[in-house]
Amino acid sequence: MSQPDPLLEFLLRMGDNTLVLGHRVSEWCGKGPVLEEDIALANTALDLIGQTQMWLGLAGDIEGKGRSADDLAMLRDAWEFRCTLLVEQPNGDFGQTMMRQYLFDQWHLLQLRALKDSSHDQIAAIAAKAEKEVTYHHERSADLVIRLGDGTEESRPKMQAALDLLYPYVGEFFEGDATDKTLAEAGIAPDPASLRGAFDAALSTTMDEATLTLPDSRFTHKGGKTGTRHSEHLGHLLTQMQWLQRAYPGATW
């Protein structure tokens, strides 16, 4: 088997993270705890899907086989996806969804800020565009994690349980491989490990304010970003997300 093109691999990782999380968050549409949060969740999902169009659109161009962003989103199977395990995780309750969002937003924001200086012009342009939206997502998710964590007798244990459940998925964002090494050397993307210090510092500040305790263990689940082993949740998500194109190939509206 030939080695995957590192640039293509990287773009799939970016686009699959935003696609799968965007889909997950969209599952809340019409079911939010209050109308304003329902709207906020749907808007966040919309931004993420919009960013997906840019990342996967560029991936299709780089691949050069005529595949569009839609083709890549709707016609690949689970093992071809390169999203991290965190974004595949089910929504759980509202608190768990917001904890997952905060953990992702915190990494995403640091990653996009670094990508704004990418030596690849199109990547830098997409990052500059997405960063504005993600700054806003991060402001909201951090605020809600703090309010619910430092909240009531009911909300606080739920947020602590969400953190205990999801923290073991965070480390995957900072694990580097040959693809990351090639891109870092070319100045295209940061070395994933280089973002960990800033991430940990921000996380610790937020969790202190939320009166939540970070787990001691740095153990991390991994395998999503490299595509070697996704969680079972991804397959279930794809059956719903891809159903229409699979049942009615080429359907448009």
Partner 1 sequence: MAPARLSGRDLVKPSTDQIWDWLDDVPDPEIPVISVVDLGIIRDVQWAGEALEVTLTPTYSGCPATSVIEISVDAALRDKGIESVTLKRQIAPPWTTDWLSDKGRAKLETYGIAPPNPAGGPDRCPRCQSTDLERISQFGSTPCKAQWRCKDCLEPFDYFKCI
Q: Kindly list the residues in this chain that would bind partner 1 in the complex (CB under 8 A).
A: 36-37, 39-40, 43-44, 46-51, 53-54, 121, 124-126, 128-130, 132-133, 136, 139-140
Nearer to partner 1, 133 or 172 (CB): 133
- Minimal distance in Å, beta carbon 215 to partner 1? 29
Nearer to partner 1, 86 or 134 (CB): 134
- Minimal distance in Å, beta carbon 18 to partner 1? 9
Two structure tokens written together for 221? 């689940």
- What's the CA gap between 2 and 19, in Å, rounded? 26
C-beta neighbour count of 251 within 10 angstroms? 10
- Minimal distance in Å, beta carbon 99 to partner 1? 18
Query: Which class for 121: exposed (0-12), middle (13-18), buried (19 or more C-beta within 10 A)?
Result: exposed
- Minimal distance in Å, beta carbon 127 to partner 1? 10
Helices 94-115 and 35-63: crossing angle in degrees, nearest 10, is 40
- Minimal distance in Å, beta carbon 207 to partner 1? 21
CB-based contacts of 189, cutoff 8 Å, min separation 6: 10, 114, 115, 118, 123, 180, 183
- Minimal distance in Å, beta carbon 39 to partner 1? 5
Nearer to partner 1, 134 or 237 (CB): 134
- Minimal distance in Å, beta carbon 36 to partner 1? 3
Nearer to partner 1, 129 or 221 (CB): 129
CA proximity to 118, closest of 61, 187, 49, 20: 187
Nearer to partner 1, 36 or 216 (CB): 36
Nearer to partner 1, 58 or 166 (CB): 58
Nearer to partner 1, 48 or 170 (CB): 48
* DSSP output for 59-113: HHHHHTSS--HHHHHHS--GGG----HHHHS---SHHHHHHHHHHHHHHHHHHHH
Amino acid at 25: V
CA proximity to 105, closest of 128, 122, 93, 87: 87
CA max distance for the chain: 55
